[in-house]
Protein backbone atom coordinates (compact mmCIF):
# COMPACT_ATOMS: atom_id res chain seq x y z
CA UNK A 1 0.00 0.00 0.00
CA UNK A 2 1.62 3.27 -1.16
CA UNK A 3 0.55 6.90 -0.98
CA UNK A 4 3.02 9.72 -1.55
CA UNK A 5 1.12 12.88 -2.42
CA UNK A 6 1.18 16.15 -0.50
CA UNK A 7 -2.37 16.98 -1.68
CA UNK A 8 -3.92 13.70 -0.64
CA UNK A 9 -5.97 13.43 2.56
CA UNK A 10 -6.23 9.98 4.10
CA UNK A 11 -8.54 8.97 6.92
CA UNK A 12 -6.83 6.30 8.96
CA UNK A 13 -9.50 3.75 9.95
CA UNK A 14 -9.88 2.42 13.45
CA UNK A 15 -9.64 -1.11 12.07
CA UNK A 16 -6.90 -1.80 9.63
CA UNK A 17 -5.28 -4.47 7.54
CA UNK A 18 -7.80 -7.22 8.08
CA UNK A 19 -7.83 -7.90 4.33
CA UNK A 20 -4.03 -7.59 4.07
CA UNK A 21 -2.36 -10.19 6.28
CA UNK A 22 0.43 -10.54 3.73
CA UNK A 23 1.10 -6.84 3.26
CA UNK A 24 4.87 -6.19 3.23
CA UNK A 25 5.13 -2.40 3.03
CA UNK A 26 2.76 0.31 4.24
CA UNK A 27 3.67 3.84 3.07
CA UNK A 28 1.57 7.01 3.37
CA UNK A 29 4.38 9.58 3.41
CA UNK A 30 3.77 13.24 2.59
CA UNK A 31 0.02 12.98 2.92
CA UNK A 32 -2.55 14.71 5.13
CA UNK A 33 -3.41 11.64 7.15
CA UNK A 34 -6.10 12.16 9.76
CA UNK A 35 -6.08 10.29 13.03
CA UNK A 36 -3.79 7.88 14.82
CA UNK A 37 -1.94 4.78 13.80
CA UNK A 38 -4.61 2.11 14.39
CA UNK A 39 -3.84 -0.60 16.90
CA UNK A 40 -5.09 -3.18 14.40
CA UNK A 41 -1.98 -2.58 12.29
CA UNK A 42 -0.59 -5.60 14.10
CA UNK A 43 -2.98 -7.75 12.01
CA UNK A 44 -0.54 -7.36 9.13
CA UNK A 45 1.94 -9.75 10.64
CA UNK A 46 4.02 -9.85 7.46
CA UNK A 47 4.81 -6.10 7.51
CA UNK A 48 8.47 -5.38 6.84
CA UNK A 49 8.29 -1.58 6.44
CA UNK A 50 6.06 1.21 7.76
CA UNK A 51 6.71 4.60 6.15
CA UNK A 52 4.49 7.39 7.49
CA UNK A 53 6.71 10.49 7.63
CA UNK A 54 5.25 13.98 7.14
CA UNK A 55 1.69 12.73 7.40
CA UNK A 56 0.29 14.77 10.31
CA UNK A 57 -0.29 11.62 12.35
CA UNK A 58 -1.29 12.27 15.97
CA UNK A 59 -1.52 10.33 19.18
CA UNK A 60 0.76 7.65 20.60
CA UNK A 61 2.43 4.76 18.83
CA UNK A 62 0.14 1.80 19.50
CA UNK A 63 1.77 -0.85 21.65
CA UNK A 64 0.48 -3.50 19.25
CA UNK A 65 2.86 -2.18 16.58
CA UNK A 66 5.75 -3.60 18.60
CA UNK A 67 4.32 -7.06 18.08
CA UNK A 68 5.26 -6.97 14.39
CA UNK A 69 8.14 -9.39 14.67
CA UNK A 70 9.02 -9.11 10.96
CA UNK A 71 9.21 -5.29 10.93
CA UNK A 72 12.60 -3.99 9.76
CA UNK A 73 11.95 -0.34 8.81
CA UNK A 74 9.89 2.11 10.88
CA UNK A 75 9.85 5.73 9.74
CA UNK A 76 7.44 8.10 11.51
CA UNK A 77 9.34 11.40 11.35
CA UNK A 78 7.75 14.86 11.08
CA UNK A 79 4.44 14.08 12.76
CA UNK A 80 2.74 14.95 16.04
CA UNK A 81 3.18 11.62 17.76
CA UNK A 82 3.06 11.79 21.57
CA UNK A 83 3.68 9.41 24.43
CA UNK A 84 6.81 7.40 25.13
CA UNK A 85 8.71 4.44 23.77
CA UNK A 86 7.51 1.35 25.65
CA UNK A 87 9.76 -1.41 26.91
CA UNK A 88 7.95 -3.71 24.49
CA UNK A 89 10.13 -2.25 21.73
CA UNK A 90 12.30 -5.30 22.36
CA UNK A 91 9.67 -7.28 20.45
CA UNK A 92 10.95 -5.82 17.16
CA UNK A 93 13.77 -8.33 16.96
CA UNK A 94 14.44 -7.73 13.25
CA UNK A 95 14.23 -3.93 13.30
CA UNK A 96 17.05 -2.25 11.38
CA UNK A 97 15.90 1.37 11.09
CA UNK A 98 13.84 3.40 13.55
CA UNK A 99 13.25 7.06 12.70
CA UNK A 100 10.91 9.12 14.90
CA UNK A 101 12.62 12.46 14.22
CA UNK A 102 10.63 15.64 15.00
CA UNK A 103 7.73 14.42 17.09
CA UNK A 104 6.63 15.00 20.68
CA UNK A 105 7.77 11.80 22.32
CA UNK A 106 8.74 12.08 25.99
CA UNK A 107 10.14 10.00 28.82
CA UNK A 108 13.34 8.01 28.92
CA UNK A 109 14.86 5.83 26.24
CA UNK A 110 14.09 2.29 27.45
CA UNK A 111 16.98 -0.06 28.17
CA UNK A 112 15.05 -2.76 26.35
CA UNK A 113 16.04 -1.09 23.09
CA UNK A 114 19.37 -2.85 23.55
CA UNK A 115 17.53 -6.14 23.10
CA UNK A 116 17.16 -5.32 19.41
CA UNK A 117 20.61 -6.40 18.18
CA UNK A 118 19.72 -5.93 14.51
CA UNK A 119 19.18 -2.16 14.76
CA UNK A 120 21.49 -0.14 12.54
CA UNK A 121 19.91 3.34 12.47
CA UNK A 122 18.35 4.94 15.54
CA UNK A 123 17.03 8.46 14.90
CA UNK A 124 15.38 9.93 18.02
CA UNK A 125 16.24 13.61 17.46
CA UNK A 126 13.83 16.50 17.85
CA UNK A 127 11.70 15.09 20.66
CA UNK A 128 11.47 15.58 24.42
CA UNK A 129 13.39 12.57 25.69
CA UNK A 130 15.10 13.06 29.03
CA UNK A 131 17.14 11.19 31.60
CA UNK A 132 20.38 9.27 31.15
CA UNK A 133 21.27 7.39 28.02
CA UNK A 134 21.35 3.61 28.43
CA UNK A 135 25.00 2.51 28.59
CA UNK A 136 24.20 -0.53 26.51
CA UNK A 137 23.49 1.55 23.39
CA UNK A 138 27.19 1.79 22.71
CA UNK A 139 27.38 -2.00 22.65
CA UNK A 140 24.71 -2.61 20.03
CA UNK A 141 26.69 -4.70 17.54
CA UNK A 142 25.21 -3.32 14.31
CA UNK A 143 24.51 0.30 15.21
CA UNK A 144 25.85 2.64 12.53
CA UNK A 145 23.93 5.89 13.05
CA UNK A 146 22.61 7.32 16.29
CA UNK A 147 20.88 10.72 16.51
CA UNK A 148 19.57 12.18 19.76
CA UNK A 149 20.09 15.92 19.18
CA UNK A 150 17.48 18.42 20.37
CA UNK A 151 16.38 16.45 23.42
CA UNK A 152 17.08 16.83 27.14
CA UNK A 153 19.41 13.88 27.64
CA UNK A 154 22.15 13.96 30.24
CA UNK A 155 25.06 11.86 31.46
CA UNK A 156 28.43 10.76 30.07
CA UNK A 157 29.12 10.19 26.39
CA UNK A 158 31.93 7.68 26.97
CA UNK A 159 29.82 4.56 26.69
CA UNK A 160 28.08 5.71 23.51
CA UNK A 161 31.02 5.55 21.17
CA UNK A 162 32.39 2.04 21.57
CA UNK A 163 30.61 1.07 18.35
CA UNK A 164 32.56 3.58 16.25
CA UNK A 165 35.69 1.45 16.01
CA UNK A 166 33.78 -1.02 13.82
CA UNK A 167 31.35 1.32 12.09
CA UNK A 168 31.01 1.25 8.32
CA UNK A 169 28.75 3.15 5.94
CA UNK A 170 25.27 1.73 5.87
CA UNK A 171 22.59 2.02 3.21
CA UNK A 172 18.96 1.17 3.67
CA UNK A 173 15.99 1.37 1.37
CA UNK A 174 13.24 -0.47 -0.33
CA UNK A 175 13.33 -1.87 -3.84
CA UNK A 176 10.10 -1.90 -5.82
CA UNK A 177 9.23 -3.75 -8.95
CA UNK A 178 6.46 -2.14 -11.00
CA UNK A 179 4.79 -3.39 -14.16
CA UNK A 180 3.28 -0.84 -16.51
CA UNK A 181 2.08 -1.74 -19.97
CA UNK A 182 3.92 -5.06 -19.89
CA UNK A 183 7.20 -3.33 -18.98
CA UNK A 184 8.95 -4.03 -15.69
CA UNK A 185 10.64 -1.18 -13.83
CA UNK A 186 12.94 -1.59 -10.85
CA UNK A 187 12.90 1.39 -8.49
CA UNK A 188 15.31 1.79 -5.61
CA UNK A 189 14.53 4.13 -2.73
CA UNK A 190 17.93 4.33 -1.08
CA UNK A 191 19.06 6.17 2.05
CA UNK A 192 22.62 6.38 3.33
CA UNK A 193 23.43 6.59 7.05
CA UNK A 194 26.86 7.04 8.57
CA UNK A 195 26.56 9.86 11.05
CA UNK A 196 26.15 10.60 14.72
CA UNK A 197 24.48 13.68 16.21
CA UNK A 198 24.07 14.25 19.93
CA UNK A 199 23.71 18.03 20.05
CA UNK A 200 21.50 20.16 22.30
CA UNK A 201 21.52 17.84 25.29
CA UNK A 202 23.26 17.86 28.67
CA UNK A 203 25.93 15.28 27.86
CA UNK A 204 29.19 15.71 29.74
CA UNK A 205 32.66 14.23 30.08
CA UNK A 206 35.65 13.93 27.76
CA UNK A 207 35.24 13.02 24.11
CA UNK A 208 36.24 9.34 23.98
CA UNK A 209 39.18 8.26 21.84
CA UNK A 210 36.91 5.66 20.24
CA UNK A 211 35.31 8.41 18.17
CA UNK A 212 38.50 8.91 16.20
CA UNK A 213 38.71 5.26 15.24
CA UNK A 214 35.96 5.46 12.65
CA UNK A 215 37.10 6.11 9.12
CA UNK A 216 33.54 5.76 7.82
CA UNK A 217 31.91 8.49 9.89
CA UNK A 218 30.85 11.46 7.76
CA UNK A 219 28.95 13.69 10.19
CA UNK A 220 29.71 14.22 13.88
CA UNK A 221 27.68 16.77 15.83
CA UNK A 222 28.24 17.05 19.60
CA UNK A 223 27.37 20.73 19.91
CA UNK A 224 25.48 22.39 22.79
CA UNK A 225 26.52 19.96 25.52
CA UNK A 226 28.84 20.07 28.53
CA UNK A 227 31.81 18.25 27.06
CA UNK A 228 35.23 19.18 28.41
CA UNK A 229 38.86 18.20 27.98
CA UNK A 230 40.88 18.19 24.76
CA UNK A 231 39.81 17.39 21.21
CA UNK A 232 41.36 13.93 20.62
CA UNK A 233 44.42 13.96 18.37
CA UNK A 234 43.19 10.89 16.49
CA UNK A 235 40.32 12.88 14.95
CA UNK A 236 42.66 13.21 11.99
CA UNK A 237 42.16 9.49 11.33
CA UNK A 238 38.49 9.97 10.40
CA UNK A 239 39.36 10.23 6.74
CA UNK A 240 35.73 10.25 5.57
CA UNK A 241 34.57 13.06 7.87
CA UNK A 242 32.72 15.82 6.03
CA UNK A 243 31.14 17.81 8.89
CA UNK A 244 32.38 18.37 12.46
CA UNK A 245 30.48 20.47 15.01
CA UNK A 246 31.80 20.67 18.59
CA UNK A 247 30.54 24.19 19.31
CA UNK A 248 29.05 25.40 22.60
CA UNK A 249 30.92 23.06 24.93
CA UNK A 250 33.75 23.47 27.44
CA UNK A 251 36.62 22.05 25.41
CA UNK A 252 40.15 23.24 26.19
CA UNK A 253 43.64 22.93 24.75
CA UNK A 254 44.82 23.37 21.19
CA UNK A 255 43.05 22.43 17.97
CA UNK A 256 44.77 19.21 16.79
CA UNK A 257 46.94 19.79 13.73
CA UNK A 258 45.81 16.36 12.52
CA UNK A 259 42.51 17.94 11.41
CA UNK A 260 44.37 19.40 8.41
CA UNK A 261 44.59 15.84 7.02
CA UNK A 262 40.80 15.61 6.62
CA UNK A 263 40.55 16.23 2.89
CA UNK A 264 36.76 15.81 2.75
CA UNK A 265 35.99 18.13 5.67
CA UNK A 266 33.71 20.84 4.33
CA UNK A 267 31.98 22.11 7.48
CA UNK A 268 33.64 22.92 10.80
CA UNK A 269 32.42 24.65 13.95
CA UNK A 270 34.48 24.86 17.15
CA UNK A 271 32.98 28.12 18.38
CA UNK A 272 32.25 29.00 22.00
CA UNK A 273 34.68 26.74 23.83
CA UNK A 274 37.88 27.48 25.75
CA UNK A 275 40.34 26.49 23.05
CA UNK A 276 43.75 28.16 22.88
CA UNK A 277 46.90 28.33 20.78
CA UNK A 278 47.47 28.68 17.07
CA UNK A 279 44.79 27.59 14.62
CA UNK A 280 46.29 24.87 12.39
CA UNK A 281 46.99 25.67 8.76
CA UNK A 282 47.84 23.76 5.65
CA UNK A 283 46.08 22.26 2.66
CA UNK A 284 42.46 23.18 2.18
CA UNK A 285 42.14 23.89 5.92
CA UNK A 286 43.19 27.50 5.28
CA UNK A 287 40.16 28.15 3.07
CA UNK A 288 37.68 25.99 5.01
CA UNK A 289 36.29 28.81 7.16
CA UNK A 290 37.57 31.99 5.55
CA UNK A 291 35.63 34.38 7.81
CA UNK A 292 36.74 32.81 11.12
CA UNK A 293 33.19 32.04 12.23
CA UNK A 294 34.21 28.49 13.18
CA UNK A 295 36.33 29.84 16.05
CA UNK A 296 34.19 32.62 17.57
CA UNK A 297 34.07 32.60 21.37
CA UNK A 298 37.59 31.21 21.95
CA UNK A 299 39.46 34.19 23.34
CA UNK A 300 42.88 32.52 23.41
CA UNK A 301 42.99 31.29 19.82
CA UNK A 302 45.17 33.05 17.29
CA UNK A 303 46.09 32.75 13.64
CA UNK A 304 45.45 34.16 10.20
CA UNK A 305 41.94 32.68 10.08
CA UNK A 306 40.76 35.12 12.74
CA UNK A 307 43.27 37.89 11.92
CA UNK A 308 44.88 37.66 15.34
CA UNK A 309 48.66 37.53 15.47
CA UNK A 310 50.24 34.77 17.53
CA UNK A 311 53.17 35.47 19.83
CA UNK A 312 56.13 33.83 18.11
CA UNK A 313 59.08 32.12 19.78
CA UNK A 314 61.48 34.86 18.75
CA UNK A 315 59.36 37.58 20.36
CA UNK A 316 59.29 35.60 23.58
CA UNK A 317 63.06 35.20 23.47
CA UNK A 318 63.47 38.94 22.93
CA UNK A 319 61.39 39.67 26.03
CA UNK A 320 63.43 37.24 28.08
CA UNK A 321 66.66 38.85 26.83
CA UNK A 322 65.42 42.28 27.86
CA UNK A 323 64.72 41.02 31.35
CA UNK A 324 68.17 39.46 31.57
CA UNK A 325 69.81 42.71 30.34
CA UNK A 326 68.00 44.57 33.08
CA UNK A 327 69.30 42.18 35.68
CA UNK A 328 72.89 42.55 34.41
CA UNK A 329 72.58 46.35 34.61
CA UNK A 330 72.00 46.18 38.37
CA UNK A 331 74.69 43.59 39.13
CA UNK A 332 77.59 46.13 39.69
CA UNK A 333 75.48 48.04 42.21
CA UNK A 334 74.69 44.84 44.03
CA UNK A 335 78.35 43.87 44.31
CA UNK A 336 79.28 47.36 45.58
CA UNK A 337 76.68 47.24 48.34
CA UNK A 338 77.77 43.73 49.30
CA UNK A 339 81.43 44.79 49.41
CA UNK A 340 80.65 47.78 51.64
CA UNK A 341 78.66 45.62 54.03
CA UNK A 342 81.41 43.03 54.32
CA UNK A 343 84.15 45.67 54.67
CA UNK A 344 82.47 47.58 57.47
CA UNK A 345 80.72 44.84 59.45
CA UNK A 346 83.10 41.97 58.78
CA UNK A 347 85.70 42.93 61.42
CA UNK A 348 83.03 43.35 64.06
CA UNK A 349 81.86 39.84 63.46
CA UNK A 350 85.40 38.48 63.67
CA UNK A 351 86.32 40.42 66.80
CA UNK A 352 83.13 39.46 68.54
CA UNK A 353 84.37 35.92 68.40
CA UNK A 354 87.84 36.75 69.91
CA UNK A 355 89.11 37.97 73.29
CA UNK A 356 88.64 41.46 74.68
CA UNK A 357 92.30 42.41 73.95
CA UNK A 358 91.55 42.18 70.27
CA UNK A 359 89.05 45.01 70.56
CA UNK A 360 91.74 47.28 72.04
CA UNK A 361 94.05 46.49 69.14
CA UNK A 362 91.29 47.19 66.63
CA UNK A 363 90.41 50.62 68.01
CA UNK A 364 94.11 51.64 68.09
CA UNK A 365 94.39 50.85 64.44
CA UNK A 366 91.31 52.92 63.72
CA UNK A 367 92.82 55.89 65.61
CA UNK A 368 96.10 55.62 63.63
CA UNK A 369 94.21 55.70 60.32
CA UNK A 370 92.16 58.70 61.44
CA UNK A 371 95.29 60.67 62.50
CA UNK A 372 96.96 60.06 59.16
CA UNK A 373 93.90 61.33 57.34
CA UNK A 374 93.79 64.63 59.24
CA UNK A 375 97.60 65.05 58.97
CA UNK A 376 98.72 64.80 62.59
Q: Name which of 252, 250, 291 is nearest 268 in CA terms.
A: 291
pLDDT for the residue 282:
81
Whether the model clears a pTM of 0.85, i.e. scores above it, the answer is no
pLDDT for the residue 292:
77
Helix, strand, coil distribution of the chain in percent, nearest 5: 30, 30, 40
The per-residue pLDDT for range 164-209, each reduced to its tens digit, is 555 555 444 434 343 334 444 343 333 344 555 566 666 778 887 7
The per-residue pLDDT for range 112-144, each reduced to its tens digit, is 999 999 998 888 988 999 888 887 877 788 877
Higher pLDDT, 272 or 330: 272
- Per the CB < 8 A criterion, the answer to whether 292 and 306 are in contact is yes
Would you place residue 152 in the very low, low, confident or very high pLDDT band (cuts 50, 70, 90)? confident
Nearby residues of 172 by Cβ (< 8 Å), 6 or more positions away: 73, 96, 97, 120, 121, 190, 191, 193
The per-residue pLDDT for range 335-358, each reduced to its tens digit, is 566 665 556 555 655 555 555 555
pLDDT for the residue 66:
94
Nearby residues of 39 by Cβ (< 8 Å), 6 or more positions away: 62, 63, 64, 65
Is 60 exceeded by the pLDDT of residue 150? yes
The per-residue pLDDT for range 29-47, each reduced to its tens digit, is 887 766 888 888 888 899 9
Positive/negative CA dihedral, 23, 25, 29, 35: positive
In order of start, what are the domains of the chain with their CATH numbers? Answer: 9-229 (3.80.10.10), 313-374 (no CATH)
Tell me which of 54-63, 162-171, 248-257 is least confident: 162-171
Is 80 exceeded by the pLDDT of residue 326? no
Share of the chain above pLDDT 90, in %: 29
Would you place residue 329 in the very low, low, confident or very high pLDDT band (cuts 50, 70, 90)? low
Question: What would the DSSP string read from start to end of 20-58?
Answer: -TT--EEE-TTSEEES---GGGGG-TT--EEE-TTS--E
Which SS3 state, helix, strand or coil, does residue 123 take? Answer: strand
- Report the C-alpha gap between 192 and 169 in whole angstroms: 7
pLDDT for the residue 100:
95
- Per the CB < 8 A criterion, the answer to whether 136 and 160 are in contact is no
- Report the C-alpha gap between 296 and 306 in whole angstroms: 9
Amino acid sequence: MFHDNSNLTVDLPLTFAYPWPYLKTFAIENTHAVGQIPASISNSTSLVAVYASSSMIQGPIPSSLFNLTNLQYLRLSYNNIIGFLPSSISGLRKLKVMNVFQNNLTGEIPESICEVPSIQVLHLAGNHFKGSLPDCIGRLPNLQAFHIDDNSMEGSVSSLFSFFQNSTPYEVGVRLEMMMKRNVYNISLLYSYDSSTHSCNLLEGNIPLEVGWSQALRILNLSHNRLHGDIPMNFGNMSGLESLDLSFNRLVGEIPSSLTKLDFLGSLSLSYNNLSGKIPSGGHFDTLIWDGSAYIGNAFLCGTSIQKKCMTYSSKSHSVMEMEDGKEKWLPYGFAILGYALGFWGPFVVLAMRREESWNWYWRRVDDVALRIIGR
